[in-house]
Amino acid sequence: MIKKNANDFDETLQMALDEFPLEESHLEILLDAHGSQCDALYAAARTCRQRHFANRLFGYGFIYFSTYCRNNCTFCFYRKSNSAALRYRKTKEEVIQTAKALAESGVHLLDLTLGEDPHYVLDDPGYDMLLDIADEMRMATGLPVMISPGVMGEKRGREAARRGISFYACYQETHNRRLFSALRQGQDYQTRLDAKLSAHEAGMLIEEGILVGVGEALSDIAHSICTMKEIGAEQVRVMSFVPQDGAPLRRSMDEGLYLRELNTIAVMRILMPNRFIPASLDVAGKGGLKDRLDAGANIVTSLIMPESGFAGVSNATLDVDSGLRSLPGILDTIDECGLQMGSQVEFERVLHQLREECERRCA
């Protein structure tokens, strides 16, 4: 337990704005912001975002390609043993058609994601098929592609990088090993982390992410933020846990959970000001977007085309068929926040800068 006095928050926030190196204990103070402190914290996060991105915002299209999974994560609707889960494997034609529609809507990045579907992750022909689909998405749209196939080994990471995959997303959910074991039962913490590190070394950018509301302490969040910075993740995400039908984990912290996610977004922005930090539509839909952008997020994620037959993760259908999870459906909120969608050229420029940093780190 860290000892705090009335001046700790203000002093720590000023240290952050002055770009003074912060330790985990400093981050705990900021994460614990409440009341008027939150206003100051979010304003500082927006200042840090402005320094690196001006008023530019980006978006990525979400294509949940397969909802089959070999894992039994206690928090996930699509866990292997959940008979209530919506299961599908989309065809290549469905994926490409949706990718084109997302590109036409104005997204900057396409996320081809799936559960750890044995059909694609347990044999090389299946994995090659996945990369073939990613290739066709890229060629059909001209957009960079992120893949989220779960844990992949060093050889597969090199092949994905060789094929031109820009981003690899693979979330720990927490960097507390005990809590990881409770959330991702039967999975190895270090194996999952090493998959990201080897993808980095192969030349891909990586996205790392955590959940809040799953039994973590503020010290766990602070440790995760520092770990994500240490490994050099180019996109860092936090999402509030949403209880799922057929999944055993129940929310452990209802009171203050929404605030905890917003505070985490802000602290990540302050500690990693030049990174992509998502405002996910998957937790609260369009209604939660403004708060996440005001807390310092700079990329809107889980954009899904209406009536496409593709699902989300935490809230599989929320705001989808109404069009409020599409880019045109959120432009009014973006304008309300004083932000503008950046151009594809601006997005690619940021990717180039991040790749150069990644190369220096891995050299």
CATH assignment at residue 87? 3.20.20.70
Q: What is the four-CA torsion angle of 4, 8, 9, 10, rounded to 10 degrees? A: 160
Residue 170 inside a domain? The answer is yes
Task: Round to whole Å and give the CA distance between 274 and 229.
Answer: 11
202 within a domain of the structure (yes/no): yes
**Residue 99 counted as domain residue:** yes
Structural domain that includes position 25:
8-362
218 domain residue, yes or no: yes
Q: What angle do CA 190, 222, 292 make, to 5 degrees?
A: 105
Domain membership flag for residue 346: yes
Q: How far is CA 316 from the centre of its chain?
A: 16
Number of domains in the chain: 1
**45 located within any domain:** yes
CB atoms within 10 A of CB 81: 11
Nearest CA-CA partner of 278 in 323, 230, 314, 311: 314
Decide if 358 is inside a domain.
yes
pTM for the whole thing? Answer: 0.95
Instruction: List Cβ neighbours of 110 (8 Å cut-off, separation of 6 or more).
Output: 60, 61, 63, 99, 102, 103, 137, 138, 141, 143, 144, 145, 146
Q: Say which amino acid occupies 40.
A: A
Output the tens digit of pLDDT for each of the chain's 363 residues. Answer: 444 544 699 999 999 999 899 999 999 999 999 999 999 999 999 999 999 999 999 999 999 999 999 999 999 999 999 999 989 999 999 999 999 999 999 999 999 999 999 999 877 889 999 999 999 999 999 999 999 999 998 999 999 999 999 999 999 999 999 999 999 999 999 999 999 999 999 999 999 999 999 999 999 999 999 999 999 999 999 999 999 999 999 876 666 889 999 999 999 999 999 999 999 999 999 999 999 999 999 999 999 999 888 888 888 787 888 888 999 999 999 999 999 999 999 999 999 999 999 888 877
Assess if residue 138 is contained within a domain.
Answer: yes
